[in-house]
Chain A
Amino acid sequence: SQQGEEDPQALSIQEGENATMNCSYKTSINNLQWYRQNSGRGLVHLILIRSNEREKHSGRLRVTLDTSKKSSSLLITASRAADTASYFCATEAFLNAGNMLTFGGGTRLMVKP
């Protein structure tokens, strides 16, 4: 079952524009992570935000977390054609002793040059 649900399922923008993807989840979490997947490849970790954090930055990426609403957003600023990929949020459930992540369905981002 999918813990996280991304919105929108697909997004098409022009190079230079910002892209915002949202993720909602159902249960309490230890942390929430965002991953990127290029076509035909494995997932690559982008950023991890812990349940006691509200915002985190990494280069052109900005992630927010609202635990009261059980939601997160990923903002990619000044997008590039190379950002074209699928983006997934993944949650680690609270009290999960291990590293088990549950992934959402993903957002397919297309950045047009």
Chain B
Amino acid sequence: DAGVIQSPRHEVTEMGQEVTLRCKPISGHNSLFWYRQTMMRGLELLIYFNNNVPIDDSGMPEDRFSAKMPNASFSTLKIQPSEPRDSAVYFCASSTGTGHEKLFFGSGTQLSVL
């Protein structure tokens, strides 16, 4: 398996623009997570899906952020409008969803909002 695939690897955009990050989880995994990593705040869980249904989105910073999982093999994280403080590395991770096991992370998307 190719692992968790994220795209793009790098994104540079201007403040106010819409940004869409994409994730393909490992085939057969039922749980998907979006994390954000910054130097100041470390790794923060933004949202968690199980069987394509959002279970916990309490980590989503504000209404500018939205996430979808239209099917078991694809998820998006959208920021609209983007702000400089959104600059971070965004990671997608997946797990089998059977409970209490390890996460498999993608390589991340480095987002820079100018």
Interface residues of A (CB under 8 A from B): 2, 30-31, 33, 35, 41-45, 48, 50, 88, 92, 97-106
Indicate if the CB atoms of B100 and A99 lie closer than 8 Å: yes
Q: Within 8 Å CB of A2, what residues of B?
A: 42
Total interface residues on B, CB under 8 Å, equals 25
Number of A-B contacts (CB under 8 A): 59
Interface of B, secondary structure class, is strand
CB distance from A98 to the nearest CB of B (A): 6
Q: Within 8 Å CB of A48, what residues of B?
A: 101-102
Interface residues of B (CB under 8 A from A): 4, 31, 33, 35, 42-43, 45, 48, 50, 55-56, 91, 93, 95, 97, 99-108
Q: Across the interface, name the chain A residue whose C-beta is closest to B98.
A: A99
Interface of A, secondary structure class, is strand
- Residue from the list B35, B91, B99 in contact with A99, Cβ < 8 A: B99
Q: Across the interface, name the chain B residue whose C-beta is closest to A101.
A: B103
